[in-house]
Amino acid sequence: MLLCWALRKTNLPEIFLALRSANIPLLIAAWLIYSTSYYIRSHRWRVLLKAQGVDASIPFLFKSYLVSIFFSNFLPSTIGGDAIRAFDVWRLERNKSIAVATVFVDRFLGLLGLILFAVGALLLSQKLIAPLPLLYPSVLLAAAIVFLLTGMIFIPSEKLAQLKPQIKLPFWQKLQQKLINIIKAFLAFGNRKDALAIALGLSLMVQISVIGHYYLIAKALDLSVPLQNLFLIIPLVTLIMVLPVSINAIGIRENAFVFFFGIYGYGTSRPETVAFAWLAYGIVIIQGLLGGIVYGLRK
């Protein structure tokens, strides 16, 4: 339905014409940079696992990311594959609490990196303020919430520690123990500012590489999209794509790019913008296919 909405005023032959005219070497470079972003994410995930006393190799974590991309193609939003990553950590450590906590914090710090870029770009750009008056306060509110939660996770919290004995779930003792174990796993991050600093730095590197890959896709289509504006558009579109509204954000991706490119008025036609979104999704599909092969070969 969302995809039909994005294509309602679009000429399909014009989309395919734009796709055929794309610069292949630039698209290959975009794919390589996108792959590199997952290598960086693997290092971030490893930092968080080591903070929990778990030693996992980068190849293992990178393969887990690829498999999660494969399953994301069949699950709602762009984070549906996180359950696969949590399962892989459980296979490695046999500890569900650590698996849930590390994958959650890993995703959480990724969102923090996105929000930091969005806030910084908003301070330097007033283009979206008029059409989206609630955007600025919304992003600032989201940033405040994320920073607060980050502090609760990585700075020892007596209240969080006191929450463990207060959990009482009659007739649900098994669930009660699981909740307590998860809280213990989050408490293990307490006072690990070194892990926070490293993981946050890696998150910023991830966002830079992702934005770079989108910029190369724009160049491959010869779109006049300034790099500095992508530092705002890409984080906002990525945050929108997290919403569990469609399978792997199909339809949301296209509508979001059409909306933001239209506001900035780059002179980019609607078919070209949809082609841009499809090429970006095509790279995700290629990564997913590689993940499917990894999943099929692993024991």
Element (H, E) at 2: helix 2-7
Residue 273 within any structural domain of the chain: yes
Residue 257 placed within a domain: yes
- Are the C-beta atoms of 219 and 23 separated by less than 8 Å? yes
Q: What is the mean pLDDT of residues 76-87?
A: 77
Other CB atoms within 10 A of residue 227 CB: 12
Residue 268 in tokens: 């980019």
Residue 57 within any structural domain of the chain? yes
Give the domain range for residue 230.
Answer: 2-93+103-142+199-297
Q: How many CA atoms lie within 13 A of 52 on its CB side?
A: 29
d(CA 46, CA 117): 23
* pLDDT, tens digit (0-9, with 9 covering 90-100), for 8-34: 566 677 788 888 889 999 999 999 999
Q: What is the DSSP letter of 76?
A: B
**Within the chain, how many helices (H) and strands (E) appear?**
13, 0
pLDDT at 237 over 70: yes
Q: What is the pLDDT of residues 136-182, one digit of tens each?
A: 677 778 778 877 777 777 765 555 555 555 555 555 566 666 666 66
Number of domains comprising the chain: 1
Three-state SS at 247: strand
The Cα-based distances of 255 to 10, 201, 215, 225, 261 in angstroms read: 12, 31, 18, 17, 10
Pick from 49, 89, 50: which is nearest to 68 by CA? 89
Mean pLDDT, residues 61-66 taken together: 93
Q: Contacts from 79-82 at CB under 8 Å and sequence distance 24+? A: 79/107, 79/242, 80/244, 80/248, 82/107
Residue 271 forms beta bridges with which residues?
none
**Cβ atoms of 102 and 46 closer than 8 Å:** no
CA distances from 104 to 38, 59, 118, 185, 207 (A): 16, 20, 21, 11, 18
Residue 65, in any domain of the structure: yes
Q: What is the pLDDT of residue 231?
A: 85
Question: Which whole number is the average pLDDT over 49-58?
Answer: 88
SS3 for 126?
A: coil
CB 62 within 8 A of CB 144: no
Cβ neighbours, 10 Å, residue 72: 24
| Mean pLDDT of the region 119-132 | 68
pLDDT category at 91 given cuts 50, 70, 90 is confident
Domain assignment present for residue 170? The answer is no
> What SS3 state is found at 57?
coil
Radius of gyration of the chain (CA): 20
Single pTM value for the model: 0.82
Would you say residue 183 lies in a domain?
Answer: no
Residues 6+ apart with CB under 8 A from 165: none
CB atoms within 10 A of CB 52: 22
Question: Is 98 domain-assigned?
Answer: no
Residue 243 DSSP symbol: S
- The predicted structure's pLDDT at residue 94: 73
Phi/psi at 110 (5° precision): -65, -40
φ/ψ of 164, rounded to 5, equals -60, -55
For residues 111 and 106, give the distance between their C-alpha atoms in angstroms, rounded to a whole number. 9
58 pLDDT above the threshold of 90:
yes
Residue 133 confidence (pLDDT): 65
Q: Does residue 237 fall inside a structural domain? A: yes
